[in-house]
Chains A and B, each alone.
Chain A
Amino acid sequence: MGKSPFSLAEKKVFVTGASSGIGRAIAVACSQMGAQVFISGRNETRLKETLSLMDKSEKHSILPCDITSQSEIKNVVNQLPSLDGIVHCAGKGQRVLCKQMTEQDVDDLMNVNFKAPVLLQAEVLKQKKMSKGGSIVFVASVASVSPSAGNAIYSASKGAIISYANCLGLELAPRQIRVNAISPAMVWTDLIYSGGISKEQLEEDEKKYPLKRYGKPEDIANLAVYLLSDASSWMTMNNVPITGGGK
């Protein structure tokens, strides 16, 4: 039997935001599917925890980095080999009403959720670290089309990255490099507690989902694995919702 198209064996994958939540689950799932994984995040201790959860931890690398720093981005990309996959997962949440929005609120979120992945991707391409036929995945959110109070800049940042991903996909298509976004609904991670929302409120909301639960980071990781694998060879410039039926 030949190699499964769903396998990531012999693929080199870079995952940002791998120190917790969805990024961590993606790093673990990629390792289980046979990839050599390079994980990045701000907190080295938590990156080591991620590494300890990964299959064959000795074959993977930790690259601590603040992705809002241009010099750190350059340094990290320097250390990367030619990649078959990138997952842009680093991101943060925010709950601020439009009326109370400050310049700092806008910058804090857009810098991490939009500007950082855009400039990181540019550096990867400048240093020619993306292999022909590779796959780039952006973890966005259904928030881009599903409004909720206090979530304006977060929603806008995810809408912006989806639009960016479409153009990137077009520019990289001649080299058969695919670019897709994943738009999860609510997933149980630290991010969803931003702005003082309580676990109790979230558990109440969770019951409204047709599948009666929020997502687990692993649910999203499995979709990321698919988009990184050759099984999705004809998928590019798509934004894939994964929502448990929630809107």
Chain B
Amino acid sequence: MDLEKFLADFADIFDETDASEIKADTQFHYLDEWSSMSGMAVIAIVKSIYGKEITGEDIKKCDTVNDLFELVKNK
């Protein structure tokens, strides 16, 4: 799994947040646009692009985008 690709996929779920704001160490829960719907969107891209299943609870435990990347990589 490629981190750069994952960052781009993650950035793509947002409409107002510029992709340049999304880095490996971004604490995504603090993004203005982050909401419970974003969590749902992450679950969907992880399933459709990476073929893996994660839960809202898994996402809640992650702090940075890199944490999410590691979570998906290790599923």
Contact = CB atoms under 8 A, between A and B. Distances in A.
A155 to B, nearest CB: 15
Contacts of A97: 37, 40-41, 44
A178 interface: no
A95 B41 CA distance: 9
B24 interface: no
Interface size for chain B: under 10, 10 to 19, 20 to 34, or 35 or more residues? 10 to 19
A198 B40 CA distance: 12
B36 A195 contact: no
Contacts of B37: 97, 149-150
A196 B41 contact: no
Contacts, number: 40
B44 A96 contact: yes
Nearest to B44: A100
Given A95-B40, A150-B40, A196 B45 contact: no
Contact of B43 (A102, A196, A200): A196
A197 interface: yes
A201 interface: yes
Interface stretch (B25-33, B50-58, B67-75): B50-58
Contacts of B41: 97, 99-100
Given A97-B40, A198-B60, 10 more contacts: A95-B40, A97-B44, A102-B48, A149-B37, A149-B40, A195-B44, A196-B43, A196-B53, A197-B56, A200-B57
Interface of B: 36-37, 39-41, 43-45, 48, 53-60
25 contacts: A95-B40, A95-B43, A96-B40, A97-B40, A97-B41, A97-B44, A99-B41, A100-B48, A102-B48, A149-B36, A149-B37, A195-B43, A196-B39, A196-B40, A196-B43, A196-B55, A196-B56, A196-B59, A197-B55, A197-B56, A198-B56, A198-B57, A198-B60, A200-B57, A201-B56
Interface of A: 95-97, 99-100, 102, 149-150, 195-198, 200-201
